[in-house]
Each structure stands twice: as C-alpha cells, then as structure tokens.
Amino acid sequence: MRRVALLAMLAAGAGWCARQPVRARHGMVATREAHATDIGVAVLESGGNAIDAAVAVGFALAVTHPSAGNLGGGGFLLARFADGRTVFLDFRERAPAKASHDMYLGPDGKVTKDSVLGYRASGVPGTVRGLEMAHRKYGRKKWAELVDPAVQLADGGFPVSYGQARSLRSKDTNERLSQFPESKRIFLHDGRYYEAGDRLVQPELGRVLARIRDRGAKDFYEGETAQLLAADMKEHGGLITLDDLKNYRAIERQPLTGSYRGYAIVTAPPPSSGGVGILQMLGVLEGSGYEKSGFGSAATVHYMAETMRRYFADRSEYMGDPDFYHVPAAGLLSPRYIAGLRSTIDPEHATASASIHPGKPETHESSETTHYSIVDAEGNAVAVTYTLNNSYGSAVTATKLGFLLNNEMDDFAAKPGEPNLFDLVQGEANAIQARKTPLSSMTPTIVLRDGKLYLVVGSPGGPTIINTVLGVLVNVIDFGMNVADAVDAPRLHHQWMPDVLRVERGFSPDTVALLKARGHTIEFENAQGEVAAILAHDGWLEGSADPRTEGTAKGY
C-alpha cells in the first residue's frame, strides 16, 4: 500500500524523489533475484568483464528463477563496449524442422492448446549456445568459473523466497505443472509445496550444469544432455530432434540504432519487434510536445497510448524473422512515415482501434521472461532479456534433466489474424515455418549521451515489454526522473487489439476519469513488467531493480 501511495503522489506531479537508486563507482548488476545479482557482482570484483558477469548471471537464474531463468529457452544479448563497439546476439528459440504452418489447428480450424502446454509447444532452446557464444567472443574469465556458481546453487540448494513460494502455489502454476510428473515432483514438491525459507535442491539440473561447465555447450546440443532431451521429446510426442539441437546456432546481428532528443538509442533488431517499436514511438513523441502536460497527466498518457496503438497495428502486419521475411524497418522508421502517424493523433479523443490499420511504409532499406543489466568498471554494458515465454514455459520439465522447457512456439501466429496467449494479433509475416525464429517483444536497450554510456534497460512482460521500456526511457529523458523513480513510476500499455488501455494502479483518479472522457476503455493492472536498469551519471553508476518484484541491484 505504501508503494501505491508513493506512486500516486508521483503520478500527481509531486516534485520529490520516492526512492534513491543503488550507487557505486566501479560496477553494477541489476537482476530479478538476489543470488544471481551477488554472483554477477562477484564476477566483476574478481576481474571479469560485463560479458563474464552476464554469463554467470544467466546460468544462476536458470537455477534460482525457474519461472523465467532457463536452460530450456532463449533470448537476446545487447552489449556496448567501452571502445564504442556494439553487438547483438540472437539466441532465440527456433521452430523444429518438423514444424508446419497449421500444426496447432484442430479439425474445427481452431487453435489447440498444444502451442502453450506440453512437449509440442517448445522451440529449440538457444540460451546455452548464446551464452557460450558471448563468452567465446567477448569474455575474459574461464568458462568453468562462470558456470560453477550455478552448479553449486543447484546441488546445494537455496532458500525459496516468499514471492517464489507464492508463485509456485498459485492456482494457474499448480494446474499447469501438476500435469507433468517431473514438474510436480521438483517444483511443486510432489504437492506438498514449498514455504518461504525451504531449501530447493535440484540435483538433476546440477548434473546438467556440471556437464555444461566441464564440456561446454556441446554437451547440451550434441552430448549426453542432447541425447536425453531428444529421447524425452520422442517419447512424449515433441518435435525437437537430435538434429535440431545439433544444427542450432546463435546469430550475431547488427543492433538497431536511432536518436531521441540528442540521445543515441541502441536497441534490438528483428526478430525482436521491440527495437523498431521503441524507435518508431520515440519518433512520434519527439516534436509533439506531449511532455508539456507533465508525467501522469491525462494529456500525456493519452498521447502515449495513441502512439502505442499505432505501432502495434504496424507490428501485426510487418514484423517477423528477417531471415525468412523482409521486415521494412527503414520504411517504418522513415521521418515521413512517422510524421504521417503523428498527424493522425487527435490530442483530445481516442482513436478506435478498429479504424486503425497497418500503415504503408516505404519499402526501401539502407526487423515470461526476465531481464538483467550489467555495467563493469571499464564501461562495458550488457543488457540481457531471456525467456521461457509463459511463466514456467510449457510446464514440462525434461525427464532426468531438471529444467523447464519453453512454450515459445506460441509466439508465432498459430492462426494468422487471431490472438495468441498475450492477445496479440499477428499476420503471415510471423506464421510458423520450419527452422524459423518466432517474433519477440524483448527489447534490451542501451542509451548514450554525448557518445558515452548513459542508460541500460530492459524488461520482461510479453508485448508489454516494449511499452515498459518506452516508459522508463521517457521518464528519464523527458521527465527528469532518477533511475529508481523512472522504474517505480506507474506504467501503461496499449497494443491496438484488444482496444483497451491498461494502466497500473497509481495514476490519479482524475487522470483515469479524463482518459475515459477522451474515449479510452480502461483496465487496471497490479503490476506491468520487471525492469532492471542502470544509469551512468557524473562518475557514478546508479542501479535499480523493480520494486514490483524481489529483484536487487548491487554494485561495488
């Protein structure tokens, strides 16, 4: 209640700081879970760089944050090095070779539950290969040193937090995980449930991590782990084969770049839809004067919602895997196209989503989750967002392996034109195809000011990720908040369809009433996203994990 009251005061325009960020001089780590944060800081203190810490944190979260941290999923890593180089690693899950366009349609033409629950919901995992690629190309410390802390956590166990215990006991989690014997045994304690403070020991996962520590990613994709996973898939009707695992490759892509009010934005390219979305929406906001009414005003929220609505209409038509589909990113981000979008916004009235259709960009070209942010003493910055898709993924724990599998196949358009798990409407550009990467909303983002590192940010949350990251960016740049206030401030989300403006509780009742008067249909959310952010300012690193979670930020 205290947090809600503070946010309400902030939303009403109170000119004070609700919370101070964590400050440090040398390095900073912000993650969803305290053990992972501590491991990341220990790596930095022992001479590792930000990439080393990112690898160690990724494996630690696979143990301590099973709803999203993973070996059985995938994600994106964005890095900006102190010498100015930038890199984006795509280790997103991929469709198995046996995948097909209509694989989730039943005899009645309707989408089955197979894209969200069970073995058939999983794409080929990429996390282990992606972290290995990051370490091989950009890391400094020995691989075994980075994986071993996760091995120790799995073998020795760790105390379950209050939030994690509640998550595992929730009705939805219980109903899903209890359908699969290994998930029920490990994560539901065979129906006895974990209480806060109970120790969660995961010996099967520990053995997998030990093999990865000793033999590298090759074990996961070709060795004993791969053999066990492929056999488990075959026995339970899954599609992933040993060949799918052997053939998986992480991809290094060129980050997407743009600018906003003189700040340089480095963000995620396709197959993320987030980077294009961030740059398009910032382009619409810039020059509009939307910010003059102040944070939390009805006029500001209305203009942001209308901007979001227009991008998500474009997303439904034009975003997909750039290796399979030509994503017209340059057209979607051209100044003329953005100016056209801006001109359609009525500052006093909501535009019905049914009257908005994907635009006509020029075709020229010059595309449950968790996020963590890391900056090291040299000024190298890493933003990682990785996922199982839904909380606890497909609910399947691989037999004899101890890790949950993703349900990332639902991020494809199982039936183009119809909503998916997140109520997102998507088109043929994101239809299922063998070996294709599903479209993602993950948006790790780095901001530079005067050519120097300024902000590292990202969030989980399905399609809300894009708008959550947008909100933090404008809170810092346009509304002058410190990084903790920018993370804490109430959030909003509009994704075109359904035609609903979702807002966190914390906006003032007057703001909500004025938004309704403008024609918005309002739904309240208790919490949106899970930001981990770091701001570099005046020789200090300022870190903030999200108070909506049990996340922590720590520096040295």
Cα–Cα distance for residue pair 552/531, rounded to 1 Å: 11
CA 96 to chain centre: 22
* Per-residue confidence (pLDDT) for residue 545, from 0 to 100: 97
Q: H or E segment at 341?
A: helix 335-343
Q: Which amino acid appears at position 318 of this protein? A: Y
Pair of tokens at residue 491: 């959030």
- Strands (DSSP E) found in 152-293: 158-159, 199-200, 251-253, 256-260, 263-267
Cα–Cα distance for residue pair 329/332, rounded to 1 Å: 5
* Per-residue confidence (pLDDT) for residue 424, from 0 to 100: 79
pTM given for the model: 0.95
State in Å, rounded, how far the first CA of the chain is from the last one: 32
Domain boundary assignment for the chain: 21-248+370-430, 253-367+442-547
Strands 501-504 and 381-387: unpaired
Point out the residues of the chain with pLDDT beneath 50: 1-16, 363-367
Cα–Cα distance for residue pair 43/52, rounded to 1 Å: 7
How far lies 202's CA from each of 37, 260, 541, in Å? 20, 46, 35
Cα–Cα distance for residue pair 508/531, rounded to 1 Å: 22
DSSP letter string, 130-154: HHHHHHHHH--S-HHHHHHHHHHHH
Closest alpha carbon to 40 in 452, 383, 531: 383
Q: What is the DSSP secondary structure assignment for residue 496, as one 8-state letter?
A: S
Cα–Cα distance for residue pair 78/26, rounded to 1 Å: 20
Cα–Cα distance for residue pair 501/516, rounded to 1 Å: 10
* Per-residue confidence (pLDDT) for residue 423, from 0 to 100: 79
Peptide bond into 328 cis (omega under 30): no
* Per-residue confidence (pLDDT) for residue 419, from 0 to 100: 82
Q: 266 - beta bridge partners?
A: 257, 446
Active-site residue (options: 64, 127, 307, 369):
369
Pair of tokens at residue 289: 């004067």
* Per-residue confidence (pLDDT) for residue 363, from 0 to 100: 45
Cα–Cα distance for residue pair 443/270, rounded to 1 Å: 10
Q: What is the DSSP secondary structure assignment for residue 320, as one 8-state letter?
A: S
* Per-residue confidence (pLDDT) for residue 362, from 0 to 100: 60
Which CATH number is 253-367+442-547's, of 2.40.50.140, 3.90.1150.10, 3.40.109.10, 1.10.246.130? 1.10.246.130
Does the annotation mark 369 as catalytic? yes
Q: H or E segment at 387?
A: strand 381-387
How far lies 263's CA from each of 42, 79, 141, in Å? 32, 17, 33
Q: H or E segment at 514?
A: helix 509-517
